[in-house]
Amino acid sequence: MDARTSSGYGNRSRGGIHSVLDVETALAAADIAARLRDRVAAGERICGPAASRVLTSAAQTPRFEGRIVPKTFAKKAVDFLAQDGVVLFDNPDAFLICAFKRDNALCEPDPGATAPRQYDCRPSCGNTVRTDTYARLLRERADEIDKPAAYAPAPIGKRLRTNADQLRSTADAHDAAAQSAEALA
């Protein structure tokens, strides 16, 4: 690496690694939107307070598959990520998608943040959406938790079973509320 490229790595400027992260984040968000758009077109249902906003965002976000990313894309990536309420973030640990809008975020992002605090994701947030795929994954995770619960000491086993039951309850709530894209439009 030359001095121009590496000089931004250890400081707080927006050059160097930060611009690379912005580009990668923008490309990941566009990929999330494209995958969601494809799954919804195939009949997957969604639910959540941000469902209509997520569908609009997924429909309007361009695909970037297989494109060469020029140097000028870093500025476009920053502009794309700054669109409050439009950029989609997948959170597989919380089994949901976040259409990050700072004013609605319960994860308490920093002022001016362009991304949610995914480690502090709260399912009751106004930015969240759950898909049929995530409801299925919730049930699979509940089944995984039930296995060690059967062999764990009583108090631990009870907590594990309670956790598994909560995951199944969340999946059931999704099934009851989920709608197709046509129904939401």
The string of pLDDT tens digits covering residues 156-167 is 999 999 999 999
Domain boundaries, the chain: 3-131
For residue 7, is pLDDT > 60? no
Using CB atoms within 10 A of its CB, is residue 125 exposed (0-12), middle (13-18) or buried (19+)?
Answer: buried
Distances (CA, A) of 9 to 5, 74, 114, 146: 8, 16, 20, 45
Between 17 and 169, whose confidence is greater? 169
The per-residue pLDDT for range 29-49, each reduced to its tens digit, is 889 999 999 999 999 999 999
Report whether pLDDT(16) > 60.
no
In angstroms, rounded to a whole number, what is the distance separating the alpha carbons of residues 179 and 92? 21
What pLDDT score was predicted for residue 17? Answer: 60
Amino acid identity for residue 157 in this structure: G
Q: Which ranges of 113-153 does DSSP label H, i.e. alpha helix?
A: 132-149
Residue 108 has a CB neighbour count (10 Å cut-off) of 11
pTM of the predicted structure, to 2 decimals: 0.81
Does 71 score more than 80 pLDDT?
no
Please indicate whether residue 13 or residue 27 has the higher confidence score (pLDDT): 27
CA-based nearest residue to 178, from 120, 149, 138, 150: 138
CA dist., res. 131 & res. 7, Å (int): 42
Residues 103-114 pLDDT 10s: 889 998 888 888
Task: Name the average pLDDT for the chain.
Answer: 86
Rounded to an integer, the average pLDDT of 131-144 is 97
Phi-psi region of 109 (alpha: psi -120 to 50; beta: other; left: phi over 0): beta
